[in-house]
Amino acid sequence: MQPNRIKALGVFDSGVGGLTVVKAIRDLVPVDEIIYLGDTARVPYGNKSPASVIRYAREISAFLLSHQIEGMVTACNTATAYALSVLQEELEIPVFGVIEPGVEAALAATKNGRIGIIGTVGTIGSQAYQNALLKRNSHLELVPVATPLLVPLIEEHWLDKRATTLIIEEYLEPIRKSDVDTLVLACTHYPLLKPVLSKMLGDQVVLVDSAITCGLKVGQELLGRLVTSETEKTQDIQVYLTDMAPHFGKMAQEFLGLKKCHIQVVSVS
Ligand code: DGL
């Protein structure tokens, strides 16, 4: 029989980006406690080799497992692309990634079959999104663009600075020329740039990310159900970082609507 609530769920990312997935999980899944690990000592993951990212993911999993988690979410596209299958094979608890949920969201959103994808060098180079989308529909036209400068800007909380807008404009040029109707935010950090992105692309382009589809999947698979009332929502979030990150607490408070964000710095390697 499936339990009525999840006692503890582990979630990790290289930094602040995984909070976009945490937000959806808190809204959708009855969980007592989320244990979040942001690997701020080693962010960004996007330009690291697959072997390094797999090693980081294993180390973080061992840390999260010591907190008696019942499931784990790899809330990072780069880590999902490189390490999800390894973690799923090695760990005894269910492990969720963010790429399949992002693919599902993109397929549900597109009407003209032209989809832009922005992500890290690792995620775009791995072809994980391209392969998964084309496997479902080989007629899709995809415009993948690696956007490596965005994660450091987001970690700096430069969400609406002029320099950030200029960099995004440059990155989006091939996407704007391609008449896409959907843009996949294939990095969990990028939903924090949604206001700038939607201002730039206008209403005709739907921005999709993995957060909600990932939350739905976690709830359905671990419990066979989603939250039914406000009081059922996640009660607590424990935040661990591998190095102090000056803007993390503020962003977590703003984005998750927390009154306080108590952060503990830990070593996982
Ligand atoms: N949030 C991570 C992702 O979804 C960021 C990767 C990075 O640290 O470069 O890929």
> How remote is the CA of residue 90 from the centroid of ligand 1, in Å?
22
- Candidates 43, 72, 98; CA nearest to 247 is 43
| Contact by Cβ (8 Å): 242, 57 | no
pLDDT higher than threshold 80 for residue 162: yes
Ligand 1 atom nearest the C-alpha of 186 is 4
* Model confidence band, residue 1 (pLDDT cutoffs 50, 70, 90): low
63, pLDDT greater than 70: yes
Q: Is residue 122 a contact partner of residue 53, using CB atoms and an 8 Å limit?
A: yes
Q: What is the pLDDT of residue 114?
A: 98
- 127 Cα: distance to centroid of ligand 1 (angstroms): 15
Q: Residues with Cβ < 8 Å from 214, sequence gap 6 or more? A: 21, 24, 25, 73, 75, 96, 98, 101
pLDDT for the residue numbered 263: 95
The pLDDT tens digits of the residues spanning 119-136 come to 999 999 999 999 999 999
User: What does pTM read for this prediction?
Assistant: 0.95
Contact residues of ligand 1, CB 6 A cut-off: 13-14, 17, 43-46, 76-78, 120, 123, 151, 187-189
- Where in the sequence numbering do the catalytic residues fall? 76, 187
Cβ atoms of 18 and 189 closer than 8 Å? no
- Alpha-carbon distance of 225 to 242, in angstroms, equals 33
Compute the average pLDDT of residues 31-40.
Answer: 96
Residue 179 has pLDDT above 80, yes or no: yes
pLDDT tens digits for range 225-265:
998 888 888 779 999 999 999 999 999 999 999 888 899 99
Measured CA to CA, the distance from residue 209 to residue 21 in angstroms comes to 9
Residue 75: which of 50, 48, 55, 101 has the closest Cα?
101
Least confident range of 9-23, 203-217, 225-239: 225-239
